[in-house]
């Protein structure tokens, strides 16, 4: 001990470590406590995991997700993607999740609109509006949302007319807006846009217009900063054409929906001038168009420019390409059970759920908005007024930007609430994730733990994604509190020339970049596309051949098969068996099949002897391919079955199967055809033979599928992949998502996310991820090569290029 | 924080997984009542009477089991379950048995780990439509909107039936019979489909039952019966033989009226065995000697229960049909009591 206290030149003496120092010495205490806490947490987790295992074992259940690829067997009414009851539970679950997203997205949007309007209106100077909004908020907020959903559903179901009321001469209900919208107790039917040939160009023109509008806006802001003027006065010339366009558009709109005729139907008298009855439609057009023109005249010049940019190219392209975009209107069926066909169908359950959730959440958002506005000091308003700003501009330029900082955080939790509340859907018969995966699938398979686990994971990831996006937006809206550059910790950027600093909005070195040259917009598109392709490949594309072979809808009866044999067999076969249809099968394979299947009338009087003879005859044809042993065995089996007097179809089937088993080794489509012919020639008329045909076709088609690479392949569903591949796919999705979000918000970590994404991409390639299937019809090499090039290009451009400006987190190399 | 949320959720899920226990009969005796899972209400099968207590064709099974165990039909408590919640309630041990129009299927028997102890009603899935729809057969239902109770076999039968017949339809899933009824009457769906007995029961509660017709198609076999958890055979036997006692009683002509007389001893040894006059059959199951007497004393034999709640003289007006004893042209057939 004595030597120790003498001390070394390096520093104070070191006392020997004693155990009580773990809790007495502040140097060790905190670490020690953390380790202990970690142990406790781990023990609890272990206990829980073990508890689950033991209890599942006690119930005799295993933990596996295999059931996800078995046929779901139930129908779902709202189908954002194709689905039939023979599809897998996984697909049903995806469908439910998409339905949840449909409610969540529209609901969040509507709730925001309602909430902002109600929140601002609640602060209105108008007593009536203010009190009305108070009543709305207090009533809606304090009634359980479940009751509101049921109420709205009941109102729709009970008070709106049934489809049958719309039918016939003496219909008691009529579609509104000149037969374009039907409000029934089954939901709303709206016109649906039909995208004809060439509509792609209209969409492209529309997207370009939007980009041009954004660019124009950025340019305008920049211009105003430089000159103090909003826009150059030369742009004032845009007001006139914009007004004309507005007038024409409004007139056209009223012409299309024929509102004025409805007025006449409702009993408004036709105006009569000088004994002449005027055409009310024409008059209406002129009045509406004129009013719109007058309104258009009062547009500011920048608004006029924006309007022109938005409308002119789209309208021009639309007419130039022969009006490719048209509308499909719903109409009630004239025969059979009355229902609406065509159009865009918004189910009563969807409408009730979305509207109720929007109104409910809107009330909360309104309070957030009110709180946010009131939190901005009154002095701000007064100061703005003192500067001569009008109330509207004071609100939009001074108050709201500051209020937004207070509004956004609680808004996030309102969005989350709405999304989670959408799980009440099944109460009104809406099939969301809770209804399909955690409802019917759970009930039919009894896999409580697995389905609830997946369901929780889904809601958790949706909620966390919403929270992540909104948090980034929040970061963007918050005040910039420090303007000095700060060094950042580890970043892949460090590999490219030393330390990097973060620049923040307001920093002197900061160079905000406006306009489309912000290459990040392209990055967003790129990572968005990756995400879409990956998700589509893994969950949405119908790749599970196994499931589909169980369900040949087109070949379910002997009649159907006869039709197929005499008609277009390749088409029928393809539709029945192949996901993606005929296109994925090589024509020559199918031709081979059709050559073999010659239509032949069945013989209802066939005897057992006939069957035997036919079987043996067809076997002889095959003798060249089958071994003696196989043929002998098959004959034995057939004879064994058929020596029973009065053999039935089942026997026949056995015979054919036996025959087929025998020749299976070298079986070709032709063999199957022979088998089928034998069978068909003796099967009693009207017998349903789908199972038999399935048995016969299945191996042949699998065989075919394996021969005809690459356009057609069998792919197991995600649940049957190896764990490594599953993780690779998840990793790629996660990183593409991360990169997408970070470049969407121009976050500093974009470079890191993109770099990790690249690494995951390469890893996935190394462990053999099937890139070739990612984009139909594009080879793996191309996907890999181009993907790699673009990714590396993005990273390189971020480091060396001057173009992409990671704006508010821009990085500056430390000198 | 986010991890904490996840762990918490996991923990909650793990705890609710619960533990299944063997020895339900001991548990039941210890707690002093039978916990019976029933439906949320189907006229005739399970309904609350004027006193507010449960009664009905399915309830009679619960009462019979209570009578067998305790000799007292009132020692039973009810837990209402929906088509969706019933299996979880049984699997988790929340209820001791389910007596609510539940179809006996392979996957429920084997995969869901339940044991169907018998069939108390042979049913089939049917369709009910308003007369005004002008439909005479289920194959004319192309494009119909169909209300269907979710989480039931009817949902699967329906999908198969329409697929096989190449008919399109729009399913409207609902949770309970009452909801389905409300939607159907409001015209939010053209068709209501469930077990034919359920349709008849539901129709009987309508203001104008004559305005609705049941379509001739019966598209499935729906053997409805009580069920218990897999693996507890003692308890399974108690429930099975409580049901069988009712069926045998009808076959042998034991009624609530002549029960006292019969238990005094008859010429038929099977009756004597059943009513406890002969042998120690009750003790073999861990019940009293005269357990079957108590069971029959509650509501009478199977036929009497049928007639009382859902028979031809009730508003529901179901014919015996398949549910007549095998001696009377039906397929109701209990194994011999020996």
Q: Give yes or no for a contact between A484 and A710, defined as CB atoms under 8 angstroms apart.
A: no
* DSSP-derived pairing of the beta strands B125-130 and B212-214: antiparallel
Interchain pair A446, B112: CB under 8 A = yes
Q: How far apart (Å, rounded) are the C-alpha atoms in residues A23 and A35?
A: 12
Q: Best of A43, A71, A75 to disrupt the B interface by mutation (most B CBs within 10 Å)?
A: A75
Cα torsion at A612, A616, A618, A624 (round to 10°)?
170
| Predicted confidence (pLDDT) at residue B267 exceeds the cutoff of 80 | yes
H or E element that contains A779:
none
What secondary structure letter does DSSP report for A505? T
A682's tokens? 């003796």
Q: Is the pLDDT of residue B167 over 50?
A: yes
**A48, B155: Cβ pair inside 8 Å?**
no
- Residue B301 structure tokens: 């034999």
Question: Among candidates B225, B252, B242, B261, which has minimal Cα distance to B299?
Answer: B242
Tens-digit pLDDT profile for residues B292-301: 999 999 999 9
Binary contact (A452, B141; C-beta < 8 A): no
Chain pair A-B, CB pairs under 8 angstroms:
137
Q: Mean pLDDT across the stretch A459-469?
A: 88
Tens digits of residue pLDDT in A515-547 = 344 556 678 888 888 888 888 877 766 543 332
Shortest Cα distance from B173 to chain A (angstroms)?
Answer: 5
The reply to whether residue B17 touches residue A186, judged by beta carbons under 8 angstroms, is: no
pLDDT of residue A280: 65
Q: How confident is the model at residue A451 (pLDDT cuts 50, 70, 90)?
A: very high
Pick from A48, A435, A445: which is nearest to B10 by CB? A48
Give the nearest partner residue to B175 out of A76, A427, A556, using CB atoms.
A427
Contacts of B186 in chain A (CB under 8 A): 154, 157-158, 185
CB contact under 8 Å between A429 and B172, yes or no, is yes
Which residue of A424, A436, A446 to mutate against B (max B Cβ within 10 Å)?
A: A446
DSSP 3-state assignment of A484? Answer: coil
Q: Has residue A61 got a pLDDT over 90?
A: no
Position A125 scores a pLDDT of: 85
Q: Would you give the DSSP letter of residue A184? A: E
CA nearest neighbour of B196 among B226, B139, B140, B157: B157
| Interchain pair A444, B141: CB under 8 A | no
Say how far apart CA A179 and CA A159 lie, in whole Å. 20
Helix (H, G, I), strand (E, B) or coil at B212: strand
Mark yes or no for CB contact A59/B91 under 8 Å. yes
Q: Which of residues 431-470 of A touch B (CB under 8 A)?
A: 431, 435, 439-440, 443-446, 448-449, 452-453, 456, 460, 464
* Beta-ladder partners of B55: B47
Residue A664 predicted with pLDDT over 50:
no
Q: What span, in angstroms and rounded, lies between the C-alpha atoms of A141 and A363?
A: 6
Q: For residue range A544-579, what is the model confidence (pLDDT) as tens digits?
A: 333 233 333 333 334 444 444 444 444 444 444 443
Residues of B in contact with A336 (CB under 8 A): 140, 142-143
Beta carbons of B87 and A446 less than 8 Å apart: yes
Nearest Cα of chain A lies from the Cα of B142 at a distance, in angstroms, of: 7
Nearest by CB: B174 against A429, A443, A449: A429
CB atoms within 10 A of CB A390: 10
Integer Cα distance of A263 and A281 in angstroms? 9
> Nearest to residue B37, comparing CAs of B2, B112, B73, B88?
B88
pTM: 0.69
Interchain pair B143, A426: CB under 8 A? no
Q: Which position has the token pair 């020690």?
A: A32
Mean pLDDT of A52-79: 81
Residue numbers in B near A88 (CB within 8 A): none
What gap in Å lies between CA B71 and CA B282, rounded to an integer? 12
CA angle A758, A761, A763 (to 5 degrees): 110
Give the closest of B10, B132, B188 to A186, CB-based. Answer: B188
Q: Which of A52, A337, A427 sits opposite B142 (nearest CB)?
A: A337
Confidence of residue A358 (pLDDT cuts 50, 70, 90): very high
pLDDT value of residue A690 = 41
Nearest chain B residue to A150 by CA distance is B179
CB pair distance less than 8 Å for B14 and A51:
yes
Q: In 3-state terms, what secondary structure has residue A487?
A: strand
Instruction: Look at residue A545 and give its three-state secondary structure.
Output: helix
Residue B257 near chain A (CB below 8 Å) = no
- What pLDDT shows up at residue A7? 45
B1 interface with A at CB cutoff 8 Å: no
Query: How far apart, in whole angstroms, are the C-alpha atoms of residue A229 and residue A231?
Result: 6
CA separation for the pair A126, A130 (Å, rounded): 6
N-terminal to C-terminal alpha carbon distance within chain A: 50
d(CA A270, CA A280): 6
Q: Mutate which of B109, B159, B164 to disrupt the A interface (most A C-beta within 10 Å)?
A: B159
Residue A322 confidence (pLDDT): 79
3-class DSSP assignment, residue B263? helix
Nearest to B173 by CA among B159, A344, B203: B159
Distance separating the N- and C-terminal Cα atoms of chain B: 65
Looking at chain B from residue 161 to 190, which residues have their Cβ under 8 Å from any Cβ of chain A? 162-164, 166, 169-175, 182-183, 186-188, 190
Q: Say if the Cβ atoms of B155 and A333 lie within 8 Å.
A: no
Other beta carbons within 10 Å of A231:
19
* Res A46: pLDDT: 93
Confidence bin at A286 (pLDDT 50/70/90): confident
How many angstroms separate the CA atoms of A431 and A453, rounded?
A: 18
DSSP A274: T
User: Between chains, do A75 and B158 touch, taking CB under 8 Å as contact?
Assistant: yes
Listed range (A334-343, A350-359, B187-196, B230-239) with the worst mean pLDDT: A334-343
The pLDDT tens digits for A197-237 are 777 888 888 888 988 888 888 888 888 888 888 778 888 88
Q: Where does the pLDDT of residue A671 fall: very low under 50, low under 70, confident under 90, or very high at 90 and above?
A: low
A2: helix, coil or strand? helix
Contact B145, A163 (CB under 8 A): no
For residue B155, give the nearest of A49, A440, A445 by CB distance: A440
Q: How far apart are CA A133 and CA A145, in angstroms?
A: 18
Whether the CB of A138 is below 8 Å from some CB of chain B: the reply is no
**What's the pLDDT band for A47 if we cut at 50, 70, 90?**
very high
Query: Looking at chain B from residue 201 to 230, which residues have their Cβ under 8 Å from any Cβ of chain A?
Result: 230
**Residues B128-164 pLDDT 10s:** 999 888 888 888 888 889 999 887 788 888 888 888 7
d(CA A742, nearest CA chain B) in Å: 19
User: Judged by CB atoms within 8 Å, which residues 113-132 of B form the interface with A?
Assistant: 113, 132
Q: Please indicate if any CB of chain A lies within 8 Å of the CB of B70.
A: no
A127 exposure class (CB count in 10 Å sphere: 0-12, 13-18, 19+): exposed
A400 close contact with B: CB closer than 8 A: no
What is the arithmetic mean of pLDDT over B255-284?
87
**Given an 8 Å threshold on Cβ–Cβ distance, is B183 in contact with A157?**
yes
Which of the pair, A755 or A539, is modelled with greater confidence? A755
> What is the sign, positive or negative, of the torsion defined by CA atoms of B244, B249, B252, B253?
negative
Tens of pLDDT, residue by residue over B102-133, are 889 888 888 788 999 999 999 889 999 998 88
Which of B130, B252, B188, B27 lies closest to A184 in space, CA to CA? B188
pLDDT-based confidence at residue A28 (cuts at 50, 70, 90): confident
B232 contacts in chain A (CB < 8 Å): none
Confidence band for B79, pLDDT divided at 50, 70 and 90 = very high
Q: Report yes or no: B11 at the A interface, CB cutoff 8 Å.
A: yes
Indicate the residue of A58, A74, A431 with minimum beta-carbon distance to B156.
A74
The answer to whether residue B150 neighbours chain A at the CB level (below 8 Å) is yes
Q: Please report residues of B whose CB lies closer than 8 A to that of A443.
A: 83-84, 87, 150-151
Closest chain A residue by Cα to residue B19: A55
Cβ atoms of A675 and A550 within 8 Å: the answer is no
Q: Do B29 and B96 meet the contact criterion of CB atoms below 8 Å apart?
A: no
How close, in Å, is residue B145 to chain A by CA atoms? Answer: 9
Q: Indicate the DSSP class of residue B332.
A: B
Residues of A in contact with B156 (CB under 8 A): 73-74, 444
Per-residue confidence band for A814, with pLDDT thresholds at 50, 70 and 90: low
Residues whose CB is less than 8 angstroms from the CB of residue A534 and which lie 6 or more positions away in sequence, other chains included: A729, A732, A733, A736, A774
CA A553 to chain centre: 27
In chain A, which residues have their Cβ closer than 8 Å to the Cβ of B166?
A: 553
pLDDT at position A305 over 50: yes
Residue A290: φ, ψ to 5° = -65, -45
């Amino acid at each position: 001990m004595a030597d120790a206290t003498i001390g070394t030149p390096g520093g104070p003496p070191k006392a020997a470590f004693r155990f009580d120092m773990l809790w007495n010495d502040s140097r060790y205490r905190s670490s020690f406590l953390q380790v202990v806490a970690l142990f406790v947490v781990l023990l609890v987790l272990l206990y829980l995991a073990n508890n689950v295992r033991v209890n599942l074992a006690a119930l005799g259940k295993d933990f596996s997700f295999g059931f996800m690829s078995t046929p779901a067997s139930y129908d779902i009414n709202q189908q954002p993607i194709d689905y039939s009851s023979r599809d897998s539970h996984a697909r049903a679950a995806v469908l439910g999740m998409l339905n949840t997203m449909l409610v969540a997205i529209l609901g969040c949007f509507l709730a925001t609109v309602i909430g902002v309007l109600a929140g601002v209106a609640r602060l209105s100077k108008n007593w009536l509006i203010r009190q009305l909004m108070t009543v709305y908020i207090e009533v809606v907020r304090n009634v359980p949302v479940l009751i509101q959903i049921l109420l709205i559903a009941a109102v729709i179901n009970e008070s709106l007319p049934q489809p049958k009321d719309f039918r016939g001469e003496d219909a008691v209900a009529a579609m509104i807006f000149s037969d374009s919208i039907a409000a029934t107790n089954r939901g709303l039917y709206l016109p649906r846009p039909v995208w004809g040939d060439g509509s792609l160009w209209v969409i492209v023109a529309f997207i370009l217009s939007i980009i041009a509008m954004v660019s124009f806006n950025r340019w305008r802001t920049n211009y105003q900063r430089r000159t103090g003027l909003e826009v150059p006065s030369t742009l004032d010339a845009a007001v006139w054409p914009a007004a004309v366009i507005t007038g024409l558009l409004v007139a056209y709109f009223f012409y299309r929906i024929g509102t004025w005729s409805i007025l006449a139907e409702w009993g408004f008298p036709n105006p009569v001038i000088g004994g002449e009855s005027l055409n009310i439609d024409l008059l209406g057009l002129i009045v509406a168009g004129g009013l719109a023109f007058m309104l258009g005249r009062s547009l500011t010049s920048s608004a006029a420019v924006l309007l022109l940019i938005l409308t002119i190219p789209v309208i021009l392209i639309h007419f130039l390409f022969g009006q490719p975009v048209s509308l499909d209107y719903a109409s009630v069926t004239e025969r059979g059970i009355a229902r609406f066909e065509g159009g865009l169908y918004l189910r009563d359950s969807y409408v009730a759920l979305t509207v109720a959730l929007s109104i409910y959440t809107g009330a909360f958002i309104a309070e957030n908005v009110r709180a946010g506005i009131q939190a901005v000091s009154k002095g701000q308003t007064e100061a703005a007024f003192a500067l001569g700003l009008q109330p509207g501009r004071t609100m939009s330029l001074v108050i709201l930007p500051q209020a937004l900082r207070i509004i956004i955080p609680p808004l996030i939790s309102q969005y989350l609430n709405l999304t989670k509340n959408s799980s009440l859907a099944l109460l009104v018969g809406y099939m969301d994730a809770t209804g399909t995966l955690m409802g019917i699938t759970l009930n039919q398979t009894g896999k409580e733990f697995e389905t609830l686990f997946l369901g929780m994971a889904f809601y958790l990831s949706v909620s966390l994604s919403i929270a992540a996006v909104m948090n980034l937006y929040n970061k963007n809206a918050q005040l910039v509190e420090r303007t000095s550059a700060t060094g950042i910790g580890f970043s892949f950027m460090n590999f490219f020339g030393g330390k990097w600093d973060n620049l923040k909005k307001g920093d002197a070195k900061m160079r905000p970049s406006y306009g489309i040259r912000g290459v990040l917009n392209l990055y967003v598109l790129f990572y968005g596309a990756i995400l879409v392709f990956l998700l589509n490949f893994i969950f949405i594309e119908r790749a599970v051949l196994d499931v589909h072979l169980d369900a040949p809808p087109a070949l379910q009866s002997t009649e159907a098969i006869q039709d197929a044999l005499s008609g277009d067999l390749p088409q029928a076969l393809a539709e029945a068996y192949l996901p993606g249809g005929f296109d994925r099968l090589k024509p020559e394979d199918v031709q081979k099949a059709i050559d073999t299947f010659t239509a032949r009338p069945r013989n209802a009087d066939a005897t057992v002897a006939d069957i035997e003879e036919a079987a043996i005859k067809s076997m002889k044809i095959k003798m060249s391919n089958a071994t003696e042993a196989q043929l002998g065995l098959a004959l034995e089996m057939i004879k064994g079955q058929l020596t029973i007097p009065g053999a039935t179809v089942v026997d026949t089937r056995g015979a054919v199967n036996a025959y087929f088993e025998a020749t299976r080794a070298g079986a070709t489509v032709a063999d199957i055809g022979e088998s089928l012919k034998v069978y068909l020639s003796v099967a009693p008329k009207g017998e349903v033979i789908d199972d038999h045909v399935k048995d016969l076709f299945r191996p042949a088609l699998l065989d075919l599928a394996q021969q005809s690479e690459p356009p057609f392949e069998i792919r197991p569903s995600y649940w049957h992949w190896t764990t490594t591949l599953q993780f690779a796919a998840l990793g790629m999705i996660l990183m593409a998502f991360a990169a997408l979000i970070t470049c969407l918000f121009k976050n500093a970590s974009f470079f890191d996310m993109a770099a990790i994404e690249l690494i995951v991409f390469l890893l996935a390639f190394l462990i053999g991820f099937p890139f070739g299937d990612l984009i139909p019809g594009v080879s793996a090499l191309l996907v890999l090569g181009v993907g790699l090039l673009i990714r590396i290009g993005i990273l390189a451009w971020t480091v060396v290029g001057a173009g992409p400006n990671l704006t508010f987190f821009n990085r500056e190399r430390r000198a | 924080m986010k991890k904490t949320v996840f762990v918490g959720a996991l923990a909650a899920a793990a705890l609710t997984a619960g533990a299944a226990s063997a020895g339900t009969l001991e548990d039941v005796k210890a707690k002093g009542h039978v916990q019976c899972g029933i439906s949320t209400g189907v006229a005739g099968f399970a309904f609350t009477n004027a006193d507010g207590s449960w009664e009905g064709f399915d309830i009679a099974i619960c009462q019979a089991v209570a009578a067998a165990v305790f000799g007292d039909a009132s020692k039973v408590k009810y837990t209402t379950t929906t088509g969706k919640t019933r299996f979880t309630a049984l699997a988790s041990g929340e209820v001791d048995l389910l007596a609510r129009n539940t179809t006996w299927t392979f996957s429920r028997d084997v995969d869901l780990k339940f044991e169907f102890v018998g069939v108390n009603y042979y049913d089939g899935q049917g369709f009910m439509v308003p007369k005004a729809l002008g439909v005479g057969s289920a194959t004319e239902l192309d494009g119909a909107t169909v209300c269907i109770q979710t989480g039931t076999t009817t949902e699967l039968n329906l999908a198969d039936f329409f697929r096989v017949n190449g008919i399109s339809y729009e399913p409207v899933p609902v949770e309970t019979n009452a909801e389905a009824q409300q939607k159907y009457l409001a015209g939010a769906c053209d068709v209501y489909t469930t077990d034919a007995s359920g349709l008849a029961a539901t129709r009987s509660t309508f203001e104008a039952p004559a305005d609705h017709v049941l379509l001739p198609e019966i598209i499935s076999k729906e053997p409805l019966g009580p069920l218990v958890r897999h693996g507890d055979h003692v308890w399974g036997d108690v429930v099975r033989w409580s049901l069988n006692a009712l069926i045998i009683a009808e076959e042998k002509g034991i009624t609530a009226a002549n029960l006292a007389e019969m238990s005094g001893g008859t010429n038929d040894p099977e009756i004597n065995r059943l009513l406890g006059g002969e042998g120690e059959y009750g003790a073999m199951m861990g019940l009293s000697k005269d357990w079957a007497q108590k069971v029959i004393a509650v509501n009478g034999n199977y036929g009497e229960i049928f007639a009382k709640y859902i028979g031809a003289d009730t508003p529901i007006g179901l014919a015996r049909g398949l549910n007549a004893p095998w001696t009377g042209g039906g397929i109701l057939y209990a194994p011999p009591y020996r």
